[in-house]
């Protein structure tokens, strides 16, 4: 976490319960944590295009919701790191819970008939979200949020491992790439927290272009944003395989992964 002595800027005093290691208002007077803010673009723009493509392809609404939920997380995180206000912090952290619940629903409904609805699972996840929201608004303890989020991620990991081990082993590459990138982001998140004083001292001694590379919370955004996006692709690939489509992962401009598929032709 960041030391207490940070300058103020356009948004005034910090009211959030968390203040990360990036020096506040060091790039511009209008954005508290510049690199932690702009790094959220990876969670905003690609999932928006994913949602649009999902609508065009006539996919089930839960996959459209998955893409949009990731976009909402990115927008909330943008607002939080730009302002370091408590209300904006909630716009970041609570959608993290809600989006993961959508991901969990998708993963556990991969092998059901098309457009089916599991009301029991839906009710459980909505209830979980309401309980987490209520408790977190009351206790305002970031560790509580982190533990609840970790539980959901762990559930997704277990389900993914089950699918690539017992159902579709040929999806290990996509599944484990998503998981590995996410875990690397989590490692950087911890480095940013634990070694903040050392990182700040290092940044004072090196050119800014090198210092930027040590903004590990920004790397957390980039890697978990990519990992979450790949998880949606993995979930969607699993689902469309079960529905007897022909999914393929393609790379736009040779860089960005997207999923394309076509239904089996009826004879």
CB neighbour list of residue 211: distance below 8 Å, 6 or more residues apart: 202, 203
3 state DSSP class of 11:
coil
The answer to whether 105 and 121 have CB atoms below 8 angstroms apart is: yes
**Cα R_g (the chain), whole angstroms:** 20
Q: How many CA within 13 A on the CB side of residue 118? A: 19
d(CA 219, CA 72): 19
> Is residue 145 part of an annotated ligand binding site?
no
- 220 marked among binding-site residues: no
120 belongs to an annotated ligand binding site: no
Report the C-alpha gap between 47 and 68 in whole angstroms. Answer: 6
231 is in an annotated binding site: no
User: Of 154, 167, 165, which is closest to residue 100 (Cα–Cα)?
Assistant: 154
- The residues near 3 (Cβ < 8 Å, ≥ 6 apart) are 196, 197, 200
Is 221 marked as binding a ligand?
yes
Beta-carbon count within 10 A of 124 CB? 14
**C-alpha distance across the termini of the chain, in Å:** 62
Cβ atoms within 10 A of the Cβ of 165, count?
A: 11
Task: Tell whether 57 is in a known binding site.
Answer: no
Binding-site residue ranges = 19-20, 22, 24, 33, 81, 217, 221
Binding-site residue ranges for Ca(2+) = 19-20, 22, 24, 33
Binding-site residue ranges for Zn(2+) = 81, 217, 221
């Amino acid at each position: 976490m960041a030391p207490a002595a940070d300058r103020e800027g356009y948004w005034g005093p910090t009211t959030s319960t968390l203040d990360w290691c990036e020096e506040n208002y060091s790039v511009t007077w209008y954005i508290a944590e510049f690199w932690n803010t702009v790094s959220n673009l990876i969670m905003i723009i690609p999932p928006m295009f994913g949602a649009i493509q999902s609508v065009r392809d006539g996919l089930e609404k839960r996959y459209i919701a998955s893409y949009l939920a990731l976009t909402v997380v990115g927008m909330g995180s943008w607002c939080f790191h730009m302002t370091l206000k408590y209300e904006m912090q909630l716009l970041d952290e609570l959608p993290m819970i809600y989006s993961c619940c959508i991901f969990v629903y998708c993963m556990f409904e991969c092998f059901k008939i098309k457009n089916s609805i599991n009301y029991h699972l839906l009710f459980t996840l909505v209830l979980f979200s309401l309980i987490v929201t209520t408790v977190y608004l009351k206790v305002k303890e970031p560790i509580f949020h982190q533990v609840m989020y970790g539980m959901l991620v762990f559930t997704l990991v277990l389900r993914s491992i089950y699918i690539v081990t017992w159902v579709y082993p040929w999806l290990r590459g996509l599944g484990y790439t998503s998981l590995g990138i996410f875990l690397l982001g989590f490692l950087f998140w911890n480095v940013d927290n634990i070694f903040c004083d050392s990182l700040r001292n290092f940044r004072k001694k090196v050119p800014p272009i090198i210092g930027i590379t040590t903004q590990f919370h920004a790397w957390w955004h980039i890697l978990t944003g990519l990992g979450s996006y790949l998880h949606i692709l993995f979930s969607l690939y699993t689902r469309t395989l079960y529905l007897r489509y022909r999914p393929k992962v393609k790379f736009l401009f040779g860089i960005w992964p997207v999923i394309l598929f076509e239904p089996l032709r009826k004879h």
